[in-house]
Amino acid sequence: MQFMKNIIFIGGIHGVGKGTICKELASNTTISHITASEILKWNEISDSDNKFVANISTTQERLINGLKNLIKKDKQYLLDGHFCLLNSEGFPIRIDEVTFDKINPKAIAIVIDDIEKISKRLEKRDGKIYDIKILNELQQMEIEYAKYLSKKYSVPYIEIQDGNYTKLIEII
């Protein structure tokens, strides 16, 4: 099962500002904003202070099933989520391509920022200090994977930096 190219996937590491940008876009357009965390009911499957994912493939199946119940053919969606996650050992790992095959994105966008800024946001938000090296590796892996997926699906690739999402607005 594939969705109808009505989802713009917006990725980026935890604390980079995906949700903020998506909320702004949704409030100024007719596009709907949904988060992978809400669909997954993240609070049911993970501790709130833990960004590690024990079973990534199970969570992605849960995401796709949740999307099946939510997505309507005649609407456009911003889905904010991740291209990569930290596995149960705390190392970055790509989300299986099959997930993105099923999402069938209309465009791929990635929010990127200075790792030091992200680290400070996460510390303030989660009350936890994250390894800068791991955060940097995760962000670089997300960028590379987002570019790869954009080419694979022949869809636009958009980098959002410093809150500038004008290229994304052009696609919407």
Could you give the C-alpha distances from 21 to 26, 58, 78, 164, 166, in angstroms and in order? 9, 28, 10, 9, 11
Question: Is pTM, for the whole model, over 0.85?
Answer: yes
Q: Is the separation of the CB atoms in 131 and 32 below 8 Å?
A: no
Q: Is the separation of the CB atoms in 152 and 103 below 8 Å?
A: no
Q: What's the confidence (pLDDT) of residue 109? A: 97
Q: What's the confidence (pLDDT) of residue 79? A: 94
| Residue in the block written with tokens 């303030």 | 124
Residue spans per domain, the chain: 7-170
Q: What's the confidence (pLDDT) of residue 45? A: 46
Q: What's the confidence (pLDDT) of residue 48? A: 47
Burial tier of 119 (Cβ tally within 10 Å: 0-12, 13-18, 19+): middle
Which CATH number, 3.40.50.1970, 3.80.10.10, 3.30.70.260, 3.40.50.300, labels domain 7-170? 3.40.50.300
Q: Give the pLDDT of the chain (172 residues) as one tens digit per residue.
A: 667 789 999 999 989 999 999 999 999 889 999 998 888 765 454 444 545 555 556 677 888 888 888 888 889 999 999 999 888 888 899 999 999 999 999 999 999 999 999 999 999 988 888 899 999 999 999 999 999 999 999 999 999 998 888 888 888 7
| Amino acid, single-letter form, for residue 1 | M
Q: What's the confidence (pLDDT) of residue 125? A: 87
Q: What's the confidence (pLDDT) of residue 91? A: 87
Q: What's the confidence (pLDDT) of residue 120? A: 93
Q: What's the confidence (pLDDT) of residue 56? A: 58
Q: How many of the other CB atoms lie within 10 Å of CB of 9?
A: 27
Q: What's the confidence (pLDDT) of residue 1? A: 60
Q: Distance between CA atoms of 75 and 47, rounded to whole angstroms? A: 33
Q: Helix 115-126 and helix 132-153: axis angle, to 10°?
A: 110
